[in-house]
Structure 1
Amino acid sequence: MRYYITLSLFLVCLLVNGQENYSTLTQKALETMWKAKDEAGYQKALDLYESAFKIYPDSIDGTGLYKASVLASELKNTDKAFKYLIPLSKMKADEDGYPGWDYVIGESSKSEYKNLLDDPRWKTLVQSAVREKEFFYKDLKEIQDEFFRTKALSFDEHENAVKLYSQIKNSSPYLPKKQQNYSVLFKVNDSTNTSYLVHLPKDYDPGNKYPVLFFLHGAVRNNVLSDYQMPAENLGGWNRFYTKYADLNHVILVFPKGGKKYNWMTPDDGFFMIPEMLKQIKKTINVDDNKVFISGHSNGATGSFSYLMKQPGSFAGFYGFNTFPKVFTGGTFIENIKNRSFINFSTDQDYYYPPNANDAFTQLMKDIKADYKEQRYNGFPHWFPQFDESEPAVQTVFNDLKSRRRNPFPKEITWEYDDNNYGNIDWISDMKLDTLQPKARWHKALNFKITKWLQYDKNDSLITENVNKNAFDFPRKSGKIKAIYADQVFKIETSCIQSFSLNLSPEMINPDKKIKVFINGKLYFNGKIKYDRKLMLRNFENNRDREQIWISSLHFKV
């Protein structure tokens, strides 16, 4: 009796702000369900959901119906379970982005509704869901086909080289788009698919170039790949401020879907996905090649950092919320950050990466004069983006994004790597390791110790533990290169590198004049270069980059 009096008082207190109170009450119901240890706990959670439905009938959403139907099924109240499940199954999509049929024939349906499987109503629901699924995927394919529709684009390999360069640079085969949001199927391999969601500005004009921001989600080990995504799944909730400021600043948002095996952190099997998705998008959307960025939270922030360390060439800048700044698939060669930039938003109550480690990392960034900034938000846990106080941090991302551009032809490069798959950075490519060589004196590992780590105890209290951890691991030997150019002269130093290619652009040199290439103090090339049409076309086909176009490539064995 005392519970129902308390519940009534709680409901009265909520009768103020409409939709916000529906959300508050259903969140309370969800938390009650999570904490439930027996049928009495499940019944309390269901009562809260039903009270929310009664008080706010116009606010009932798919998530509420889903949770209520699962609770009723668990309590073996089959009539009530179907009361909520039947309207849920007919929904096109709910606030979490799932169409109704997915609840009935999705991966977890048989376990969640195990007490309904013998009811004749379940068979009817399944038959209807199968039909709805067929219609859904038919519509989805038509939308995806429209997304990739462009004007015809072709180049003549025998065209005058200078003219061909101009044609590639100014190519624009883009058409208007019928929708603002597109779920795009992405083939991981012959047997595995995932997807990414593209959110365009409302006034998208194919005649204009647009910045692009990839957002990488966290918890990759707890996620599963999905061959479709609905807009609300990504644009609200923790990502609400990304959506707000992307719309205000005419920025294209891209939300890839990762899983345990194929993601941007570990293992390396899915690391190719973001550059490949970008290439696909560039084929059909007018992207500003010098304004493509990556951000993310938690594992997604670590992914953003990993692209900065391993494959930054297509991107202008990187951001992370609650970042663990470490490469988990090899060495963390921290000086690679000097080729781009990173802004980290950290919190003082983060179990994922502790404040003292962030302090040491920031100091290391200062020591190497990296373009790195950290903003610390005190009083917040790891799930900082959930809070409204994270809005200024997202504003910082978009303010930086507006003013930052990639320099596709930097005057200076430094690059270290331990996997030949990642031996590329701007105008140096195809680097091959020779780790049997002795290291050059300037080729040294940078690291620091982490001595304290935050941890939740069995009472969910945050405590500090003493640890003795290296910030970075170096499981393999690495190679390193340093290169600069000016006035037709390239000076390159290598350590543990067998060979590499030097790519050239008319933005870097005068093709009508000789260039000189010095490697480790010795003259390796002294002459003019010729336009290579096949290289220009192959390079464009490989990355769809209209700014970083190579007209010639010189290969050197060291």
Structure 2
Amino acid sequence: MRYCMTMLLVLLGYCAEAQNYSVLADKASELMDNAKDEAGYKKALDLYEEAFRMYPENKDGEGVYNASILASKLKNNDKAFQYLMSLSSIKGEGYNFPGWNYILEEDAEKEYKNLLSDPRWKTLKQKATGYKKQFYEELQKKENEFFSINKNTLKNKGNVAELYKEIRNFNPYQSKKDRDYSIPFKINDSAKTSFFIHLPQHYDPQKKYTLLFFLHGAVRNNELIDYQLAGWNLGGWNRYYTKYADQNDVILVFPRADKQYNWMLSDDGFFMIPEMLKQIKRALNIDDNKVFVAGHSNGATGSFSYLMKQSTQFAGFYGFNTYPKVFTGGTFVENIKNRSFINFSTDEDYYYPSNANDDFTKLMKSFAADYQEYRYNGFPHWFPQFDASEPAYNIIFNDLKNRKRNPFPKEISWEFDDNKNGNVDWISNIKLDTLSKNYKANKELNFKINKWLVYDDNDSLKVKDVDKNAFDFPRKSGKIKAEYRNNVFRAETSNIQSFSINISPEAVDLNEKVKVYINGKLYFDEKINYNHEYLLENFNKTQDREQVWINHIDVKV
């Protein structure tokens, strides 16, 4: 635990005077990790205490925690408890965990084995338990306030046309007391995580806001946690997200994932971002046509995966040091034609090589995808750590300002290999037919990667020869191409069993018949009326006030 928290501080970093404190604290931490006897522990403790004396305003929970462990190892119980008592009441400001966490976490009794027989240890744990209870009570109070809305339920449930208009203009939102909220999120009966939200300075519930998800990397090495603190998300590597979001009145959302429940390695957690978005829309006035996803490393791969598999709710996607591949199925790159992606790559990236990025860009250009890549030379995989990354954030936020989702695109192209991903805009509930005797394999777009960068034992980058496909296609896929104009829908399908066409008064003239042609044959030729049940069902499912469906046409191919 101590190692993980130290790494968190190193990665996030401080600024100005805090950098001087962190230099001393990092050196003390290094001495502590390498200490083998009391002399080594004393050197580390002396350096921590020098940092505390020189920079008292920057003294943090991590430093106090390590100092208390060192004092315990040196059997200086009075000093250890002095540090621990001050630590226990820390609420977690800045970049630290709450103080009670250090005392109550699983490894605490191993770290403080010299203190367990001291009666002060029991008193300390009792106080820490009280602080923990108080911490969660305050979190619950803030969560309740965050989700509080006006009791403005939908009223026109008898008149479906009026209900549609009411949904389109629905606004039950209230002002918020704070800018930062940590919200718990239930994954299933045995797992829960959280997402952290940062609001514009003067959030106005009467105004619709752009929202940007940031997906963190290193999902294999992260743990789910049911709360988050501002310092974990708004500084360090994410400082430019915070800077430009504040300048542009953009709401930031930071979900937390782990090895099992994430947006890249497993489908177990892939539902999290759409579900979090739905919950947020119940509390905040979000512009449904301006919701975006960004990420770094594994998070960038996650952003790309939502583009490939579940793009409907989003307007655009961004990635720093992206590995552009779906790891849980086929990568059907033509799906990008429904949205856009901007990638920021570096030439010294071990995660995905620049030669592969070049070939990927060529592939994107071959079918005129809305794809841009910006290459930054001389930087490693952790590019966002550097000040030189700031121009990339300018690019992102300029794109955010100018880009909107088209909720009713005239043309759709969608390929998938899992029925859970059979939805895109006005085409929904697409079901595969891969067992038919008439199954015909769809054309695979792919390329070979023959060079990869790896670090050797001396932490130097070397070029390694490889022979791998850019994408894998482990399952049979289905594909649909559809368009509509003047109340006429046309769809061409491959390996599709059935699907639904969703109807909106914004796209269809309800006074005229709607025609549907499937693979060149007339399938449907009737007027469409409002469907009360379907209207409410879909709004409750998405909380989307722009892409509102009043009925649907079920199609069996």
Aligned to 1:152, the other structure's residue is in SS state coil
CA distance in 1, matches of 2:417, 2:184: 32
Aligned to 1:416, the other structure's residue is in SS state strand
CA distance in 1, matches of 2:552, 2:243: 43
CA distance in 2, matches of 1:255, 1:295: 10
CA distance in 1, matches of 2:373, 2:437: 36
CA distance in 1, matches of 2:41, 2:417: 52
Distance 1:42 1:498, change over 3 A: farther
Shift of residue 43 of structure 1? 5.0
Aligned to 2:187, the other structure's residue is in SS state strand
1:333 and 2:332 are equivalent in the alignment: yes
Aligned AA for 1:487? N
Q: Give the stretch that moved more between structures: 68-77 or 542-551.
A: 68-77
Aligned to 1:171, the other structure's residue is in SS state coil
Shift of residue 111 of structure 1? 3.7
Equivalent residues in 2 for 1:189-268 (5 A)? 189-268=188-267
Query: Would you say the 8 A contact 1:516–1:523 is kept in 2?
Result: yes
Equivalent residues in 2 for 1:300-339 (5 A)? 300-339=299-338
Distance 1:245 1:42, change over 3 A: farther
Query: Would you say the 8 A contact 1:157–1:533 is kept in 2?
Result: no
Query: Would you say the 8 A contact 1:338–1:371 is kept in 2?
Result: yes
Aligned to 2:201, the other structure's residue is in SS state coil
Shift of residue 158 of structure 1? 4.4
1:116 and 2:101 are equivalent in the alignment: no
Shift of residue 514 of structure 1? 1.3
User: What TM-score does the superposition give when structure 2 sets the normalisation length?
Assistant: 0.93
User: What TM-score does the superposition give when structure 1 sets the normalisation length?
Assistant: 0.93
Equivalent residues in 2 for 1:371-450 (5 A)? 371-437=370-436, 443-450=442-449
Distance 1:211 1:464, change over 3 A: same
Shift of residue 545 of structure 1? 0.1
Partner of 2:283: 284
Distance 1:307 1:17, change over 3 A: closer
Aligned to 1:182, the other structure's residue is in SS state strand
Q: Deviations over 1:259-279 (max 9, x none)?
A: 121111121111111101100
Distance 1:296 1:67, change over 3 A: farther
Distance 1:204 1:53, change over 3 A: same
Query: Would you say the 8 A contact 1:439–1:495 is kept in 2?
Result: no
CA distance in 2, matches of 1:333, 1:115: 58
CA distance in 2, matches of 1:383, 1:73: 36
Distance 1:524 1:192, change over 3 A: same
Aligned AA for 1:400? D
CA distance in 1, matches of 2:378, 2:70: 35
Q: Give the stretch that moved more between structures: 368-377 or 87-96.
A: 87-96
Aligned to 2:247, the other structure's residue is in SS state helix
CA distance in 2, matches of 1:461, 1:42: 32
Query: Would you say the 8 A contact 2:441–2:476 is kept in 1?
Result: no
CA distance in 2, matches of 1:506, 1:206: 27
Q: Deviations over 1:412-449 (max 9, x none)?
A: 10101111011000000000010123678793111111
Partner of 1:148: 147
Shift of residue 93 of structure 1? 1.2
Shift of residue 121 of structure 1? 2.8
Aligned to 2:288, the other structure's residue is in SS state strand
Equivalent residues in 2 for 1:33-112 (5 A)? 33=32, 36=34, 38-39=36-37, 44-74=43-73, 77-112=76-111
Aligned to 1:501, the other structure's residue is in SS state strand
Give the RMSD, CA atoms, in angstroms: 2.0
* Total equivalences in the alignment: 542
Partner of 2:21: 22
Equivalent residues in 2 for 1:156-195 (5 A)? 156=155, 158-195=157-194
Aligned AA for 1:265? M
Aligned to 2:122, the other structure's residue is in SS state helix
Distance 1:21 1:142, change over 3 A: same
CA distance in 2, matches of 1:349, 1:115: 47
Aligned AA for 1:264? W
Query: Would you say the 8 A contact 2:330–2:475 is kept in 1?
Result: yes
Runs of 4+ with deviation above 6 angstroms: 438-442
Shift of residue 132 of structure 1? 0.8
CA distance in 1, matches of 2:31, 2:455: 21
Q: Deviations over 1:323-371 (max 9, x none)?
A: 1111111111111111111111111111111111111111111112111
Query: Would you say the 8 A contact 2:281–2:543 is kept in 1?
Result: yes
Query: Would you say the 8 A contact 1:499–1:555 is kept in 2?
Result: yes
Q: Deviations over 1:110-133 (max 9, x none)?
A: 344344333333222111111111
CA distance in 1, matches of 2:110, 2:275: 36
Distance 1:325 1:37, change over 3 A: farther
Query: Would you say the 8 A contact 1:317–1:340 is kept in 2?
Result: yes
1:531 and 2:530 are equivalent in the alignment: yes
Partner of 1:456: 455
Distance 1:111 1:296, change over 3 A: farther
Q: Deviations over 1:123-178 (max 9, x none)?
A: 22111111111111111111111111111233356433322111000000001111
Aligned to 2:95, the other structure's residue is in SS state coil
Aligned to 1:450, the other structure's residue is in SS state strand
Q: Deviations over 1:489-536 (max 9, x none)?
A: 111010011000001111111111112111111110112111112111
Q: Deviations over 1:454-474 (max 9, x none)?
A: 111111111111111111111
Shift of residue 216 of structure 1? 0.8
Q: Deviations over 1:70-123 (max 9, x none)?
A: 344455554443343321112111422421101100234234434433333322
Query: Would you say the 8 A contact 2:61–2:96 is kept in 1?
Result: no
Query: Would you say the 8 A contact 1:321–1:346 is kept in 2?
Result: yes
Distance 1:366 1:106, change over 3 A: same
Q: Deviations over 1:54-76 (max 9, x none)?
A: 22222212222123333444555
CA distance in 2, matches of 1:42, 1:465: 42
CA distance in 2, matches of 1:75, 1:469: 54
CA distance in 2, matches of 1:203, 1:344: 31
Partner of 2:6: none
CA distance in 2, matches of 1:117, 1:384: 44
Could you tell me which runs of 5 or more consecutive residues in structure 1 were left unpaired when the two chains were aligned: 1-15
CA distance in 2, matches of 1:395, 1:118: 57
Aligned to 1:116, the other structure's residue is in SS state coil
Distance 1:363 1:196, change over 3 A: same
Partner of 2:551: 552
